[in-house]
Amino acid sequence: MKSADELKNIVKTKYGEIARQDGTCCGPTKCGDTLGGTNFAESYQGLDGYFPEADLGLGCGIPTEYAGIEEGQTVIDLGSGAGNDVFVVRAIVGEKGRAIGLDMVPDMVDKAKANAAKLDFDNVEFHLGEIEDMPLESAIADVLVSNCVLNLVPDKEAAFSEIHRVLKPGGHFCVSDIVLEGELPEALAEAAIAYAGCVAGAQKKDEYMATITAAGFPEAAIRSTRQVHLPETLLVEILGDEDAAALKESGFGIYSITVVGYKEV
């Protein structure tokens, strides 16, 4: 099993490569290939604030749909990539609000800042940093969002502790993420790590929710659930015919969930 630092370096390398690709990257044929051609993303097209050059097709939900963001609020997006969710957030909070992106991949932060410069926003900002140790002051955000990123963070306890720290009293988070039902075979986990795909680092759903509760969000709740199916050809390629069939019969499942949790006042 790889160490936390090794996992972070793999993610930085893979997502840095994505950020450096030329042109717009949307959908399953390019950057959205999170695991052997499997695309977990949902379409942002048609949303206010959508900027195609910022959409790399790397999410697994649309957390802003359930986040209850209001005009004038300060909102943080964790793992902000090229700025896709930040620009959607900015359309909601308006000129009097503040939209903040955080990402640990330097090339992603550079790409997001370049996109923001094209849009000429003065209340959008992007920071380089890790979710487990955010370079942001405490109690700064009304709302925090994240899209298919926290599963890639090795220390989820530290991540949700930091989320609790940066939220204002009474503030809340809304994150879309990948969780598991049943046991993830080691060979499939290693393949996910190699692709830096959304399954890498995913917890069982009950463990994930327990981590959130322990971080100070006792009323956290799942607002949406969607099962993600890996192609049978991919499973056979990685596991072999017999183990792939056994996995299918075991009840194992990969799910995209969107969770909302409130910090107590």
Contact 35, 191 (CB under 8 A): yes
| C-alpha–C-alpha distance, residues 179 and 198, integer Å | 9
- Which parts of the chain fold into alpha helices (H)? 4-20, 84-93, 106-119, 156-166, 186-195, 205-214, 232-239, 241-249
Residue 52 has a pLDDT of 93
Domain that holds residue 55: 4-262
Structural domain count of the chain: 1
Task: State the distance between the two ends of the chain, measured CA to CA, in whole angstroms.
Answer: 40
SS3 130: strand
Q: What is the pLDDT of residue 76?
A: 98
Q: What is the pLDDT along the chain (265 residues), one digit of tens a residue?
A: 567 888 788 888 888 988 888 544 333 333 344 555 555 778 898 899 999 999 998 888 999 999 999 999 999 999 999 999 999 999 999 999 999 999 999 999 999 999 999 999 999 999 999 999 999 999 999 999 999 999 889 999 999 999 999 999 999 999 999 999 998 888 888 887 766 667 778 899 999 999 999 999 999 999 999 998 888 888 898 899 999 899 988 989 999 999 999 999 9
- Region of 72 (left: φ > 0; alpha: ψ -120 to 50; beta: rest) is left
What phi, psi does 22 have (nearest 5°)?
Answer: -80, 145
- Identify which of 187, 216, 103 has the alpha carbon closest to the alpha carbon of residue 152: 103
Exposure class string for 48-66: b at 16+ Cβ within 10 A, else e: ebebebbbbbbbbbbbbbb
Residue 204 φ then ψ, to 5°: -65, 150
Name residue 99's beta-bridge partners.
75, 124
pLDDT of residue 127: 98
Burial of 249 (0-12, 13-18, 19+ CB in 10 A): exposed
Cα torsion for 23, 27, 32, 37, to the nearest 10°?
-120
Among the listed residues 116, 113, 207, the one whose alpha carbon sits nearest the alpha carbon of residue 160: 207
CB-side neighbour CA atoms (13 Å) of 142: 14
Provide the residue count of the chain: 265
Looking at residue 29, its pLDDT comes to 32
Q: Are 215 and 157 in contact (CB under 8 A)?
A: yes
pTM for this entry: 0.90
DSSP state of 203: P
Distance of CA 185 to the CA centre of its chain: 22
CATH number for the domain spanning 199: value is: 3.40.50.150
For residues 200 and 12, is the Cβ–Cβ distance under 8 A?
Answer: no
